[in-house]
């Protein structure tokens, strides 16, 4: 929370932080309804869509509501889903679950396979045509105002500081961007979102997260069935580790495959990256990848707490939208539509407030207008699945969750009331002496890979001579506390090889290779000592995903 001080200050009517589906939907809706307003979007990626990673099968209800003629306008989407199957995997077996058994809340009848990065770029063009000012390469690093004051905008990141924080030639100090209202659309575990939730007391129940790791492969024609969608429970994750895999057959013989590992896993020797490598070795997945080429790699967390974890959305001077607020329907792994719908609901509330001559105050109906877009009904209907899964394990949790969904579908309410999430994700981690340490096979370079060759496919750009953006509250904690207790899990949970425990003169040292960071945010969530804070590096740093 900061003040502008001597910084250059620019003003706009509505400021949106983050050019994902939620932020761009809000900007588009504002300009559709209030063309006279100045709407500004800042985005930390070098290009719109460059930091976007999703599965993705999109439920089109959000896009239908925002741009009803999106098909006529040529929105770049992939094929309609032709077949959707849920499977339970064991190391050697694959059981497809009969479609009739799937509760209605798990189905997406009009699902479309999309590359969300590509779709978001198109949404950016639509917004620009309407007169929205979009600034990529600009990271919002702090909130203007806050505390007992209303939020009045943001501070953007400095450009051109060296490793020690000293200005380099060409240094440009970040500016203050003032707005009548500020919408925070940073996606899951946003850095400003985290500050605001704490500062404004917005949290109800802890948010839960999963780390999604995804690859895009170009596959042989005989292994490709455009429009086919498969979801997997079970292997490679053990029964106590929640999560699941997906394989989507997109256009142009592209396969989108990934594994989401929920971050409330207990075993500190577990590596979500290596579990994803194991996923690809299952016969049902490996068969599809015969003769195929890996094209891209990336990782990003999903917010999975659902209805119980949705914070208060409005604060004086603005609101939270999209996965910053956690609108993911976790059992369905769908949130793009809710991100867009939340942008619409918030834009309508903010637009009405500005039209009434208001600014910087609390928009009381912002939260209810967002939730009334359909988000509340959807998330409430599946609210017990994630807690059941976490408490009972995959097999019993999936069965109990399925029964709960069916009873809700038939009776209109859950027989279980509302189950709580309990602990934060990092709190369940066992100490290393309490588990048998896992070992993972060496990658074969065909189906399975190491972190270095994977991260290469994320097209990273990061000037190493800048302050490290993974901030340790106490630099001694990784070696003095985490190493003896947990074996320091950072090198295992980070999917990009940023953290390393090396040896110098026979003594362990903790290294941070910040330039490898793909902005997934896992370390900010899973560090057992809560000693790591992810802050945005210089705008334009990080992955440059294409087609994710």
Ligand X SMILES: Cc1cc2nc3c(=O)[nH]c(=O)nc-3n(C[C@H](O)[C@H](O)[C@H](O)COP(=O)(O)OP(=O)(O)OC[C@H]3O[C@@H](n4cnc5c(N)ncnc54)[C@H](O)[C@@H]3O)c2cc1C
* Residue 60 neighbours by CB distance under 10 Å: 20
Nearer to ligand SF4, 234 or 495 (CB): 495
Token readout for 427 is 């709190």
Could you tell me the CA-to-CA distances from 502 to 142, 454, 509 in Å, in that order? Answer: 33, 21, 5
DSSP letter for each residue of 283-332: HHHHGGGTT-EEEEEEEEEEE--GGGGPPP-EETTEEE-GGGT---BTTT
Asked if 534 is part of the footprint of ligand SF4 (rule: CB under 6 A), the reply reads yes
Q: Identify the residue among 522, 531, 541, 544 touching ligand SF4 (CB under 6 A).
A: 522
Nearer to ligand X, 270 or 400 (CB): 270
Q: Identify the residue among 31, 332, 334, 519 touching ligand SF4 (CB under 6 A).
A: 519
496 binds, among ligand X, ligand SF4, none (CB under 5 to 8 A by kind): ligand SF4
Q: Identify the residue among 523, 531, 537, 545 touching ligand SF4 (CB under 6 A).
A: 523
518 binds, among ligand SF4, ligand X, none (CB under 5 to 8 A by kind): ligand SF4
Q: What secondary structure, in 3-state letters, does 141-179 show?
A: EEEEECCCCCEEEEEECCEEECCCCCEEEEEECCCEEEE
H helix count then E strand count, the chain? 16, 23
Please state the closest distance from residue 259 (CB atom) to ligand X, in A: 8
- Residue whose structure tokens are 């009776």: 411
Angle subtended by helix axes 394-411 and 385-392, to nearest 10 = 150
Please answer whether residues 201 and 173 qualify as being in contact, where contact means their C-beta atoms are separated by less than 8 angstroms.
Answer: no
Token readout for 512 is 């941070």
Nearer to ligand X, 303 or 490 (CB): 303
51 binds, among ligand SF4, ligand X, none (CB under 5 to 8 A by kind): ligand X
302 binds, among ligand SF4, ligand X, none (CB under 5 to 8 A by kind): ligand X
Please state the closest distance from residue 473 (CB atom) to ligand X, in A: 20
Nearer to ligand SF4, 57 or 470 (CB): 470
Q: Which helix (H) or strand (E) holds 338?
A: helix 336-355
Options 47-55, 81-89, 304-312, 517-525: segment touching ligand SF4 (CB under 6 A): 517-525
Rounded distance between C-alpha atoms, residue 475 and residue 471, angstroms? 9
Nearer to ligand SF4, 372 or 452 (CB): 452
Q: Identify the residue among 366, 518, 531, 536 touching ligand SF4 (CB under 6 A).
A: 518
- Residue whose structure tokens are 């394990």: 393
Residue 22's nearest CA partner among 381, 343, 236 is: 343
Phi, psi of 259 (to 5 degrees): -135, 130
58 binds, among ligand SF4, ligand X, none (CB under 5 to 8 A by kind): ligand X
333 binds, among ligand SF4, ligand X, none (CB under 5 to 8 A by kind): ligand X
Please answer whether residues 354 and 329 qualify as being in contact, where contact means their C-beta atoms are separated by less than 8 angstroms.
Answer: no
Q: Identify the residue among 340, 350, 496, 515 touching ligand SF4 (CB under 6 A).
A: 496
285 binds, among ligand X, ligand SF4, none (CB under 5 to 8 A by kind): none
Nearer to ligand X, 58 or 341 (CB): 58
Indicate left, alpha or beta for 325 from its phi (over 0: left) and psi (-120 to 50: alpha). alpha
Asked if 325 is part of the footprint of ligand SF4 (rule: CB under 6 A), the reply reads no
Binding site for ligand X (CB under 6 A): 17-23, 42-45, 51-58, 116, 139-140, 185-187, 190-192, 212, 214, 258, 260, 300, 302, 322-324, 328, 333-336, 339, 536
522 binds, among ligand SF4, ligand X, none (CB under 5 to 8 A by kind): ligand SF4
Please state the closest distance from residue 335 (CB atom) to ligand X, in A: 3
Please state the closest distance from residue 379 (CB atom) to ligand SF4, in A: 26
185 binds, among ligand X, ligand SF4, none (CB under 5 to 8 A by kind): ligand X
520 binds, among ligand X, ligand SF4, none (CB under 5 to 8 A by kind): ligand SF4
DSSP letter for each residue of 172-231: E---EEEEEEEEE---TT-HHHHHHHHHHT--SS---EEEEEEEEEE--GGG--TTEEEE
- Residue whose structure tokens are 């997109």: 250
Please state the closest distance from residue 270 (CB atom) to ligand SF4, in A: 14
Please state the closest distance from residue 391 (CB atom) to ligand SF4, in A: 26
Residue 160's nearest CA partner among 491, 548, 519, 537 is: 537
Nearer to ligand SF4, 77 or 520 (CB): 520
Please answer whether residues 141 and 2 qualify as being in contact, where contact means their C-beta atoms are separated by less than 8 angstroms.
Answer: no
Phi, psi of 64 (to 5 degrees): -60, -40
Nearer to ligand X, 57 or 477 (CB): 57
Cβ neighbours for 435, distance < 8 A, ≥ 6 positions apart:
266, 267, 268, 269
Options 52-60, 86-94, 156-164, 494-502: segment touching ligand SF4 (CB under 6 A): 494-502
Asked if 470 is part of the footprint of ligand SF4 (rule: CB under 6 A), the reply reads yes
Rounded distance between C-alpha atoms, residue 175 and residue 104, angstroms? 49
End-to-end CA, the chain:
33
Nearer to ligand X, 248 or 486 (CB): 248
Indicate left, alpha or beta for 297 from its phi (over 0: left) and psi (-120 to 50: alpha). beta
Rounded distance between C-alpha atoms, residue 78 and residue 437, angstroms? 42
Nearer to ligand X, 288 or 477 (CB): 288
Nearer to ligand SF4, 339 or 498 (CB): 498
Size of the site for ligand SF4 (CB under 6 A): 13
Nearer to ligand X, 195 or 407 (CB): 195
Options 28-36, 135-143, 153-161, 495-503: segment touching ligand SF4 (CB under 6 A): 495-503
Interface positions with ligand SF4 (CB under 6 A): 470, 494-496, 498, 517-523, 534
């Amino acid at each position: 929370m900061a003040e502008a001080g001597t910084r250059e200050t620019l003003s706009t009517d509505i400021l949106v932080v983050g050019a994902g589906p939620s932020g761009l939907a809000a900007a588009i809706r504002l300009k559709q309804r209030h063309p006279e307003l100045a709407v500004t979007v800042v985005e930390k990626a070098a290009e719109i869509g460059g930091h976007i990673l999703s599965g993705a099968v999109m439920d089109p209800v959000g896009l239908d509501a925002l741009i009803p003629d999106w098909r006529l306008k040529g929105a770049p989407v992939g094929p309609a889903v032709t077949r959707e199957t849920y499977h339970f995997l064991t190391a050697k077996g694959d059981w497809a679950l009969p479609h009739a058994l799937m509760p209605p809340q798990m189905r997406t009848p009009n699902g479309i396979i999309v590359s969300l990065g590509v779709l978001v770029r198109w949404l950016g063009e639509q917004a620009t045509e309407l007169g929205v000012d979009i600034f990529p390469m600009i990271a919002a690093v702090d909130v203007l105002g806050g505390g007992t004051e209303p939020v009045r905008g943001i501070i953007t990141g400095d450009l051109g500081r060296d490793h020690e924080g000293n200005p380099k030639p060409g240094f440009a100090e970040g500016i203050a961007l003032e707005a009548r209202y500020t919408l925070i659309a940073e996606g899951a575990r946003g850095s400003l979102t985290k500050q605001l939730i704490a500062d404004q007391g917005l949290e109800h129940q802890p948010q839960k997260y999963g780390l999604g790791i995804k690859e895009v492969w170009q596959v042989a024609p005989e292994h490709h069935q455009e429009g086919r969608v498969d979801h997997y429970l079970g292997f490679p994750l053990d029964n106590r580790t929640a999560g699941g895999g997906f394989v989507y057959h997109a256009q142009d013989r592209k396969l989108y495959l990934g594994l989401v590992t929920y971050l409330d896993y207990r075993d500190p020797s577990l590596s979500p990256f290596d579990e994803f490598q194991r996923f690809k070795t299952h016969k049902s997945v490996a068969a599809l990848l015969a003769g195929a080429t890996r094209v891209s790699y990336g990782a990003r967390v999903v917010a999975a707490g659902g209805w119980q974890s949705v914070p208060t959305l409005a604060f004086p001077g603005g609101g939270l939208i999209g996965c910053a607020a956690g609108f993911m329907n976790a059992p369905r792994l769908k949130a793009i539509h809710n991100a867009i719908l939340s942008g619409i609901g918030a834009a309508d509330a903010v637009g009405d407030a500005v039209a009434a001559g208001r600014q910087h105050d609390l928009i009381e109906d912002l939260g209810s207008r967002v939730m009334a877009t359909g988000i509340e009904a959807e998330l409430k209907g599946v609210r017990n699945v994630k807690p059941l899964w976490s408490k009972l394990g995959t097999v019993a949790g999936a069965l109990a969750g399925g029964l709960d969904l069916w009873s809700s579908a038939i009776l209109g309410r859950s027989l279980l009331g509302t189950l709580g999430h309990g602990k934060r994700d990092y709190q369940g981690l066992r100490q290393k002496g309490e588990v048998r340490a896992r070992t993972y096979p060496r990658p074969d370079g065909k189906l399975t890979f190491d972190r270095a060759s994977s991260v290469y496919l994320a097209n990273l750009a990061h000037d190493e001579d800048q302050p490290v953006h993974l901030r340790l509250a106490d630099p001694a904690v990784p070696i003095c506390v985490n190493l003896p207790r947990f074996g320091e899990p950072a090198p295992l949970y980070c999917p990009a090889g940023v953290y390393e425990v090396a040896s110098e003169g026979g003594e362990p040292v903790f290294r941070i290779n910040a330039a490898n960071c793909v902005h997934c945010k896992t370390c900010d969530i899973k560090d057992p000592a809560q000693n790591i804070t992810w802050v945005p590096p210089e705008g334009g740093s990080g992955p440059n995903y294409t087609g994710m």
